Chains A and B, each alone.
Chain A
């Protein structure tokens, strides 16, 4: 089936099988390997991308469902050569160790701050509660997102 998907502002047209999952479309068809692929069962959240601005687990979305829609992946966060504040926050606050969970965390964090620019710790933890990190113990992820919120409030 022929699909036309806008990913990070760029349009891609591909011929795909309906059973292709969005995560594999992004990684294998488009080469956008920033989106990770982990549990395959909608539990871990490493595959989170934004579909029309809303974070979804791309291992549980068919690529054909994104036909005619807009997808944003971690590669699309950077603007004009500058990292998004949430990315800067993870750098500043040591928000990652192995980095496997990071792309998904960033996409959800971006969505959270777009809707709630001043989230408290509880709201941050709630937002990322569908995403697992095996390294950081979450403390620094929460701090990183707070850092981004404060950075955005200061400009």
Chain B
């Protein structure tokens, strides 16, 4: 039987209360929401926080909607809620396509968007999706809130810029009329982590690519993205040869590692092929 080691449990009643609890318990406290990463790690003693601060009750972190020209996703939004939201699907099919292949429906009922990002697993799907659309993360601390581009959010495997004492409160995604997006993943079985996955975001203007975002996960892409491939696309027509070349550049920029999900060559091949497929579908979806 796997059971976590003992810890103090506190239930946050509000966001300020959560901050106060974080301050009181210091570095060895962890926030818990869905708990689907943290609780398994605690069972295995890979994580052993002295205190858990439960933020499941904080409705103010569960908001999901459009604010002006920005899609705002509260950190506590469950995967299932993001997947069920029609507005999200209309503007950002990339999120629905990513969510459909994250874990399984029952896990998605509990796991949260913010929790997935803060866990910062190098194979996590939403990290690639948010990187592709250039989201911003809003982080609240004792001194107020700060906004961090998602491409600067992860500082390494299982590490983010969220400091002890801070809370990720929401993700903000700019909505650009006419942009298209898509997500492609290869997994060994339903609900597994990706062998490789790629997200793409394209906005065309006058028949050429005006804005390009590529997100990659599980393949050792720095900050879950491929900036050289993105830069290559700008100003070009979204035609097969161009997208193929961008995908090739993206694959080359990855540093996949061999593991039980596959060897390096295979993962790099997937990074290229999935980037190409995601770019093609994003192009189809974007109005010119």
Q: Report chain B residues within 8 Å CB of A24.
A: 1, 3
Question: How many B residues, CB 8 Å from partner?
Answer: 28
Q: What's the minimum C-beta distance from A135 to chain B, rounded to whole angstroms? A: 18
B3 touches A19 (CB 8 A): yes
Is A56 within 8 A of B110, CB to CB?
A: yes
Known A-B contacts A17-B6, A40-B1, A129-B190; the reply to A62 vs B35 at CB < 8 A is yes
For chain A residues 16-57, which have a beta carbon within 8 Å of chain B? 17-21, 24, 40-42, 45, 48, 54-57
Question: Which of chain B's residues have a CB closer than 8 A to the CB of A42?
Answer: 36, 40, 107
Report the minimal beta-carbon distance from A57 to chain B, rounded to whole angstroms. 6
Q: Does B97 contact A (CB under 8 A)?
A: no
A40 engages B107 (CB within 8 Å): no
Chain B residues with CB below 8 A from A15, complex form: none
Per the 8 Å Cβ criterion, residues 1-23 of B in contact with A are 1-9, 11
CB distance from A24 to the nearest CB of B (A): 8
A60-B35, A129-B191 given as contacts; is B106 within 8 A of A45 (CB)?
A: yes
> Is A117's beta carbon under 8 Å from chain B?
no
Contact with B4, one of A19, A65, A129 (Cβ below 8 angstroms)? A19
Kindly state whether residue A144 has any CB partner on chain B within 8 Å.
no
Contacting A at CB under 8 A, from B32-79, are 32, 35-36, 39-40, 43, 52, 54, 56
B242 contacts the other chain (Cβ, under 8 Å)?
no
B109 at the interface (CB under 8 A from A): yes
Instruction: Please tell me if B103 contacts chain A, counting CB pairs below 8 Å.
Output: yes
Judged by DSSP, the binding face of B is loop
Q: Does A155 reach chain B (CB closer than 8 Å)?
A: no
Size of the chain A interface, CB-CB below 8 angstroms? 28
Q: Which residues of B contact A19 (CB under 8 A)?
A: 3-7
B157 contacts the other chain (Cβ, under 8 Å)?
no
- A61 at interface by CB-CB < 8 Å: yes
| Residue in A closest to B108 when the chains form the complex, CB atoms | A130
Q: How near does chain A come to B81, taking the closest CB pair, in angstroms?
A: 11
B207 located at the interface, meaning its Cβ lies under 8 Å from any Cβ of chain A in the complex:
no
CB distance from B23 to the nearest CB of A (A): 20
Residues from chain A with Cβ under 8 Å of B36 in the complex: 42, 57, 60
Residues of B within 8 Å of A64, CB to CB, are 9, 11, 54
Q: Which of A1, A48, A127, A130 has the most CB of B within 10 A?
A: A130
- In the complex, residue of chain A having the shortest beta-carbon distance to the beta carbon of B3: A19
Q: Is residue A72 within 8 Å, beta carbon to beta carbon, of the partner chain?
A: no
**Which A residue's beta carbon lies closest to that of B2?**
A40
Q: Is B105 an interface residue (CB 8 A)?
A: yes
Minimal Cβ-Cβ distance residue in B for A55: B106
* A102 close to B (CB within 8 Å): no
Q: A18-B8, A129-B191 are in contact. Are A56 and B2 (CB under 8 A)?
A: no
For A45, what are the chain B residues with a Cβ–Cβ distance below 8 Å?
104, 106
User: What sequence of 0s and 1s flags, for each residue 100-143 of chain B, a beta carbon within 8 Å of any chain A beta carbon?
Assistant: 00011111011000000000000000000000000000000000
The reply to whether A129 and B43 contact each other, CB–CB distance below 8 Å, is no
B105 touches which of A21, A61, A67, A130 (Cβ 8 Å): A130
Question: With A and B bound together, what is the CA distance between A17 and B110 in angstroms?
Answer: 22
CB nearest to A41 among chain B residues:
B40
Q: How far is the CA of A64 from the CA of B107 in the complex (A)?
A: 19
Q: B171-193 vs A: 1/0 string, CB under 8 Å?
A: 00000000000000000001100
Beta-carbon contact of A131 and B110 below 8 Å: no
**Distance (whole angstroms) from the CB of A119 to the closest CB of chain B:** 12
Interchain residue pairs A-B with the least CB separation, the first 4: A130-B104, A18-B9, A130-B106, A19-B4
Chain A residues within CB distance 8 Å of chain B:
1, 17-21, 24, 40-42, 45, 48, 54-57, 60-62, 64-65, 67, 108, 126-127, 129-131
Can you spell out 11 A-B residue pairs with CB atoms less than 8 angstroms apart?
A1-B9, A42-B36, A42-B40, A48-B106, A61-B35, A62-B54, A64-B9, A108-B105, A129-B104, A130-B191, A131-B104
